[in-house]
Structure 1
Amino acid sequence: MPNASAGKAGPVAVKRMRGWRGLGWFWLVVAAVVALAAVTAKLLPEPDTAPGMAPSPASAVDLGPVPPAAPPLGHVTAAPDAELLEAGPHGAVPRIAVNGRTSMRAYAHRPEDPPSQRPRIAMILGGVGLNPGIAEQAVQQLPPAVVLAINPYSQRLPALLAQARSRGFEMLVALPMESRGHPQNDVGDRALLTTLDPAANRDRLLWVLGRFQGYVGALGALGPLRGERFAALSEPFWAMQDSLRARGLLYVDARPGVPHPERAWGRTIDIVIDEPADRGTIDLNLAALERMARERGVALGLGSDITPILIERITRWAAGLEGRGVMLAPISSMLQRPVAQP
C-alpha cells in the first residue's frame, strides 16, 4: 500500500514541478528574443551619426547653406523696401532707388500664368479702407489680380495692408483732387485744389503719398469723385504727374474717354462699372468691358466705390473669365509710356 504521507505530498510536488517548468519556458522565450534582436542589429546598417554628434568625415556631405523659402509666385506682394523710400514731411514717401528700381515694378502683382496672347482686363476697386469690414471682405473674396485703391483718409491701415500683401494684391493710393461740384462734393482737407499755390499742392501730395507704403502708383479718384476740375488746369495736373513719375509711380486717370496720362506712366479707365451700383448695371458694364478687351486686346475697368454688391458681382464675373478665354491682369502689366516729358 502506498505511504499515506507520500500520498498527501504528491499534489504539492506536482505543482512545484509545473511552476519550475513554466519558469523555464519563460526564460527560453526571453533568450530567443534577445538572440533575434542581436542578429537583426548586425544585419541593419549602422547610422552615420549619433544624436547630437556631427557626421563622421567619411559620410559627411556638404550641401551648403539652406536657402530661405521663397514665397509662391503671385501670392505675396513685396513688403515696403527702404531703398525705395525717403523721408518726407508727413512720412516716408516713394523714390527711385539708386539702381533704378521703381515702386511700380517692385510692388507689382506677379501673375502665376506666363504672358499670353489672350485678351486682358485690369480691374481696380476704389474706396478701399474707410470701412474695415467691407475691405476685409474684398481682400478675402476677390482674386488677387484685382487692384485695390486705398483711401488715404482710412485710419486702420496696417492690418488691411498686411492682409492684402499676404494675398498678393497690387495697390494704388487714391488721390483726392478737386472734382466737379466742389465744395459740395467734398474730397477732404488734403485734396489738391485749383485755388492752392504749387507749393501747397506739393505738400498735400506728399501727405497722401506718405500715408502708407508699398503701392505701385496713384488713382486720380476718391470714390466716385474724379478730380475733373483739378485735371482741367494743365499746369498743376502735369506737375502732379511729373512728381509721380519722378518717384517711380504710375498714374491711373479715372475719367473715361480722356487721353492716357501725358507725363506719367499709366493708363486711363475705360469703363466705370458701378454707376449706378445695382447688380444689373454692374453686370452689363462687366460684359461691355469684356467685349472691349476682345476688340482691343486690353481694357481697364473701375469699381469706384467699394460695396458688398460690387465685390460679389466682380468675384462671380472673374471666376468665369478664364473659361471664356480672357485673362484678369494687374494694372502694372498694361502701362502706357508718357506721351510727353519736360
Structure 2
Amino acid sequence: MTRGRRALGAFWAVVVLALVAGTGTLQWLGPPDAASVAAPATPAAADPAPPAPAATVVAEPFIEAPVPAAAEPIAATGAPVRTEPPAAPAPPPLVTPVAMPQQGAAEPRIAEPEPEMLERTRAGLVPKLGPDGRTSIRHYARPFDRDAERRPRIGLIIGNMGLFAQHSEEAIRRLPGAVTLAFSPYAQRPEPLLERARARGMEVLTALPLEPAGYGQFADPGDRALLTGRPVEENLERLDWALSRMQGQVGAIGALGRLRGERFAANAELLGIIQAALTTRGLLYIDPRPGAPTPARAFGRTVDLILDEPSETRSEVERRLTELEALALRNGSALGLLGNPTPFFTAAILAWSAGLEDRGAVLAPVTVLLRRPGTQAAR
C-alpha cells in the first residue's frame, strides 16, 4: 500500500510540473498576434460571373477595362498563397440595331409628287404638265448618264405591284433600283410602297386595266376597266381614275398583271386617244404586246419579251432573262415585262443581274429606253 501511494504521488507531481512549465512558456511568448491567427477555412469563392451585355448601343469600339487584383489569401503560417489569377471575363458584345440591309443607300431618290404638276378632276388628282412645261417623264425619272454609259441597256418592268403588299415590299427592298414598277390601280393604300420605291430611286408606272382577250370568259380586268364597248368620254374618265390612284408616276402601261389589253389595243383609234391623253399630261406609254408597233401618239416603248410565259416558273424566267440579255447585246437595248412580284421571280432577277455588267450590259430605267411616237429610233 505504501508503495502504491508513493507511485500516485509521483504521477501528480509530474502533472503539476508540466502545467507550470506550459504557463511559463506562454507568458514568455506573450499574447498572440491577431494577424497570425488563421481564420476558419471557408469554401473557395466561384469566379465572378461575366458582366451582362450593355443594353444600349455602343458607339465606340469596346476597350476592355483592367481587372483589379484580388487580395492574396494568407495561409495559417502567415505566408501568402500564390494562386493563378482568374481569367478575365469576355467583353460584352457590341450592341447594334438589327436592320434589313438597305440596297442602293447611295442611289438617287425620285422626287416627291409636285403639287404644281397635279390637276384636280372628278376622279381625283391626276398628272399634268408643270407651269414651265416640265413633264412627269423627266421630273420623276431615275438619273442615268446616257453619254457615259454606252453599254447595251436592259429594262425590266414588274407588274401587279401593290396587290400583294408583302411580295411588293420584298421586291422593292431587294431588286436593283433601275427596275421599273407597275402599280395596279386596284391596290389598297399604295402610298407606303410608293414612298419606299422613291427612296430606292425606282421609277413607277400606272397599270391600265384595258380590255383583254378573253374578256367576259376567263379574263377579268376589274370594274373600272377601259372597254371597247364604252363611250370615249367614259373611257377617258376611267383613265383619269386609274391615274389618280397614285402620284409621281412617269407614265402608264397597258397591262394589268398578266392581262395585256389585247382587245382594246387592237382598236387603233381607241388606243390612240388614250395615248394622246397621256401625252398631254406629260406621261409615257408602254405597250405590253411584244411585236406591236411603237406607240403612235405617245413617247414610249413596246415590250420586247414577256418573262413569265409560257409558264410561271423560275426556270422559265431564268431562260427568258438570258434571251432578253442576248436581245439587248444584239440590238443595243431590250425591255422585258414580268406580270407579278413573286418572291422566286425576284430571286431569279437578283441571281441574273449580279454579273450583268461583267457580261457587257447594264440595267436601265424605262425612261432611258423611250422612242419617239411612231418611230423605232431611240430617244
Shorter-chain TM-score bucket reads: 0.7 to 0.9
Which runs of 5 or more residues in structure 2 are unaligned? 1-104
Q: Percent of counterpart pairs with the same letter?
A: 48
- Between the aligned partners of 1:310 and 1:114, the Cα distance in structure 2 is 32
- Which among 259, 262, 265 is matched to residue 299 of structure 2? 265
- The answer to whether 1:148 aligns with 2:181 is yes
Amino acid at match of 2:308: D
Q: Find out whether 1:339 has 2:339 as its counterpart.
A: no
Paired with 2:148 and 2:287, the residues of 1 have a C-alpha distance of 25
Report Cα offsets for 1:86-132 as digits up to 9, x if no partner: 11111110111121100011001124796322111010001111011
The residue that corresponds to 2:312 in the other structure is 277
Aligned residue in 2 for 1:228? 262
TM-score for the superposition, normalised by structure 1: 0.77
Identify which of 266, 270, 280 aligns with 1:246: 280
- Report what 1:100 is aligned to: 133
Q: Does 1:171 align with 2:196?
A: no
Code of the aligned partner of 1:159 = P
Highest RCO, 1 vs 2 (Cα 8 Å, sep ≥ 6): 1
Q: Which residue pairs with 1:131 in the alignment? A: 164
SS in structure 2 opposite 1:189?
coil
Q: Tell me the TM-score normalised to structure 2 length.
A: 0.69
Matched, 1:293 2:328: yes
Q: 1:124 is paired with a residue of what secondary structure?
A: strand
Matched, 1:200 2:234: yes
CA distance in structure 1 between the partners assigned to 2:106 and 2:370 by the alignment: 21
Q: Which runs of 4+ in 1 moved over 4 A?
A: none
- C-alpha distance in structure 2 between counterparts of 1:282 and 1:256, whole Å: 16
CA contact (8 A) 2:208 2:255 kept: yes
Tell me if structure 1 keeps the 8 A contact 2:144–2:368. Answer: no
- The answer on whether the counterparts of 1:74 and 1:110 sit within 8 Å (CA) in structure 2 is no
1:33 alignment partner in structure 2:
none
Q: Is the Cα contact below 8 Å between 2:251 and 2:284 reproduced in 1?
A: yes
Counterparts of 2:186 and 2:148, CA distance in 1: 36
Deviation at residue 305 of structure 1 after TM alignment: 2.0
Q: Which residue of 1 aligns with 2:215?
A: 182
The number of residues matched between the two structures is: 270
Counterpart-to-counterpart distance in 1, 2:334 and 2:367 = 13
1:245-273, CA deviations, whole angstroms, 9 ceiling, x for partnerless residues? 11000000000011110110000000001
Specify every segment of 5 or more residues in structure 1 that has no aligned partner in the other structure, as ranges. 1-71
SS in 2 for 1:101: coil
Corresponding residue of 2:155: 122
